[in-house]
Chain A
Amino acid sequence: MIDNQKIKIMGHLVAGYPDTAGFEAACSAMSDSGIAILEIQIPFSDPTADGPENTGAGEAALRNGFKVEDFYRYLNFASARGFDEIHVMTYANIIFRYGIRKFIDDMNKAKVTGVIVPDLPIEDEEGFYSYASQDGVAVDAVPVAVVNMIPERIEMLRNLHAERCYVSLRQGVTGTKTVMDNDTIQFLDSLGVPKLYAGFGISTRDQVDALQGHAYAAVVGSHFTRTIRNAGSDPKIIYREMYNNAIKFS
């Protein structure tokens, strides 16, 4: 279903982590090393779909005083780095408080490609998927699929006719190691969504290669957050470590 185009990498960063300068260093290193797509998370106090690494990063950002209104500073910085696409990931309550339509409108204005909100299921969407699918709204509300979804829910997803879908490769939360078995590959091929962003637990180029031809992009999240954490607080070192790590994927 996916053409032979080389699979892209979507790198994940948490806004405000480790701080503004550190985020900017990591973000620049990603674009300089050829990472095509950036996913930025707006931190939330109760991140039910994140593993320990990103949970810790979000907490650190909030402890440092991150406010949702600060997000634009990070988004604008990233937008100037020339990524092919930028996606924004956060949790339902953040955009619910912001106003879901207003959030989509503002992301649309900021030329964001997609918004991913894992705890807004298709049937309790609060207008998220339906508003984003209206004419004149370029930004996509990107639904989340999971390998082993029950058939009725796969059907529900197909009925959205989404252009893009985030697929979590294992039944779990981000950041625990994933193996690509045949079931996973078959699931990806059967979804019928043009652009799949497949992630959760990817930390090696081999895992990315296993997705070639089955997904549009491979998501590398916790792995990069760990890189930042291990690099410490000096932006120069964060840049160097992130660059050396990210280049292995591109």
Chain B
Amino acid sequence: MGKWFGAYGGQYVGEVLKPALAELEKAVIEILPSEKFRSEYLRLLRNFVGRPTPLCPAENLTEELGGASIYVKMEGLAHTGAHKINNALGQVLLAKHMGKNKVIAETGAGQHGVAVASAAAKLGLSCEIFMGSVDVKRQQPNVFLMKQFGADVQVVEDGTKTLKDAVNAALKDWVRESKRTAYVLGSALGPYPYPDMVRDFQRVIGDETRSQILEMTGRLPDEVVACCGGGSNAMGIFTAFLEDPVALTAVEAGGFGDKPGEHAVRMNGGGQTGIIEGYKSYFLQTDDGQVQSTHSISAGLDYAGIGPQLVQLYETGRVKFTKAYDSEVLQAYQEFAQKEGIIFALESAHAAAEVLKKASQMKKNSIIVVNMSGRGDKDLFITAGELYTHEWKTFLNEEADRLKDRSVR
């Protein structure tokens, strides 16, 4: 457990939030390691989430590219379609063990919100999800799913009306209600103890991958690649390999260009050190310290900040950072669908794009693992809109017509 990752991390919050964070820290230290918590969490990971998720050899692409053997960690097969559930379930269960009867969470694309709402339904806690109004408009399918799980969706109209504003709104709500409410943060960032706790709930991805690859090939991979928004799936799969001679590569959202506002690349000069939303890290920001707007084809990577531990790992050189542009991402998405029968989430397809660039340059017999942090069903409205524009438009119009006659329920 650590509050600092080198110079990054910390707990830069107003005095009003200190008591709630102190209570959470105590619970992380006392409840998380307990046998009672561990056994219930592991049981739920198996029976509810569907762990372990498979490690799938991508034999066709391996052969076609003629370099490294490619393996896909199939996190997208986890319940609710992404790695987000590992953390959501862990934190909701912790809330229950702390005696809370309600959880709140922020969500951008809605993946984390869906995971939290599902876990809260399963564990019998009430649930409120904060989501920017711009995101609500873009992500109606996930809003619908959250509501099916019984969650209240609070539409946030502040600021840019996206993920960062949902975080701020959720934090403010937590200040008002922290006695009975737990705040379930969705990535490995925010004030201490969140970066630590979220990484620890996600490290199961790497722990499984490590033993699976050893069992399948008898050796460690040469490289592990993950996409990187806040950093939870990246830290999740990297943590088990940090001490190994394994190259670790995180892929950020290159968006559609290199100008401010066109991407979400915080490393390699894109962002600067800042103190925002409770932690010190790299942020995309203006010269005078206002948070910069970001863009990515994948809603889940569209965020100005990044987990503090990843900044430390970047500065020490342990993790290399690269980026993939929106167009490369769509290509990789199609490649893996056509050659391997796997539909990547657009976030994860950033990592897939990097693997497609790199595998052919690597030696035969070397091994590269890509974390498919999510599956692509959730992106249907984006991918079909991009790749199947005419038919999809016709379909949506016809659906809308069909619903016209339906009375509103």
Contact = CB atoms under 8 A, between A and B. Distances in A.
Interface of A: 44-49, 51-52, 55-56, 59, 62, 67-69, 92-94, 96-98, 118-121, 124, 126, 144-146, 148-150, 153, 168, 171-173, 176
Contacts of A52: 158
Given A118-B15, A144-B15, A168-B16, A97 B287 contact: yes
A150 B290 CA distance: 32
Nearest to A145: B15
B18 A168 contact: no
Nearest to A90: B289
Nearest to B23: A150
Contacts, number: 108
Interface of B: 10-16, 18-19, 22, 158-160, 164-165, 168, 171-172, 175-176, 272-278, 283, 285, 287-291
Contacts of B10: 124
B175 A171 contact: yes
Nearest to A97: B289
A45 B158 CA distance: 10
A98 B289 contact: yes
Given A45-B290, A97-B288, 15 more contacts: A46-B168, A48-B168, A48-B278, A51-B172, A56-B158, A96-B274, A119-B14, A121-B14, A144-B15, A148-B19, A149-B15, A150-B19, A153-B15, A171-B176, A173-B16
A12 to B, nearest CB: 16
9 contacts: A46-B168, A46-B291, A48-B277, A59-B159, A92-B276, A96-B289, A97-B285, A145-B15, A149-B18
A118 B16 CA distance: 9
B285 A93 contact: yes
Contacts of B12: 92, 119-121, 124
Contact of A94 (B14, B176, B289): B289
Contacts of A173: 16, 172, 175-176
A124 B22 contact: no
Contacts of B159: 45-46, 55, 59
A124 B11 contact: yes
A149 B17 CA distance: 10
Contacts of A98: 288-289
A144 B340 CA distance: 57
B134 to A, nearest CB: 14
B275 A69 contact: no
A119 B276 CA distance: 9
Interface of chain B, main secondary structure = mixed
Contacts of B273: 96
B15 A146 contact: yes
A67 B291 CA distance: 12
Given A97-B274, A149-B18, A69 B288 contact: yes
B292 to A, nearest CB: 9
A120 B18 CA distance: 12
A121 B10 CA distance: 10
B172 A92 contact: no
Given A121-B12, A171-B175, A171-B176, A126 B290 contact: no
A67 B288 contact: yes
A173 B176 CA distance: 8
Nearest to B4: A124
Contacts of B276: 46, 92-93
Contacts of B14: 48-49, 118-119, 121, 144, 146
B290 A92 contact: no
A49 B18 contact: no
Nearest to A47: B168
B274 A93 contact: yes
B27 to A, nearest CB: 16
A97 to B, nearest CB: 3
A59 B291 CA distance: 12
Leading 5 A-B pairs by shortest Cβ distance: A97-B289, A68-B288, A92-B275, A45-B290, A118-B14
A96 B164 CA distance: 19
A121 B15 contact: yes
Contacts of B11: 121, 124
Nearest to A58: B159
B400 to A, nearest CB: 33
Contacts of B15: 118, 121, 144-146, 149, 153, 168
Nearest to B159: A59
B373 to A, nearest CB: 26
Contacts of B18: 121, 146, 149-150, 153
Contacts of A124: 10-12
- Find the residue from B18, B164, B171 having the highest chain A CB count within 10 A: B18
Nearest to A148: B19
Contacts of A176: 176
Nearest to B293: A45
A98 B289 CA distance: 8
Contacts of A47: 168
Contacts of A149: 15, 18-19
Contacts of A120: 12, 275
A234 B150 CA distance: 47
A11 B165 CA distance: 27
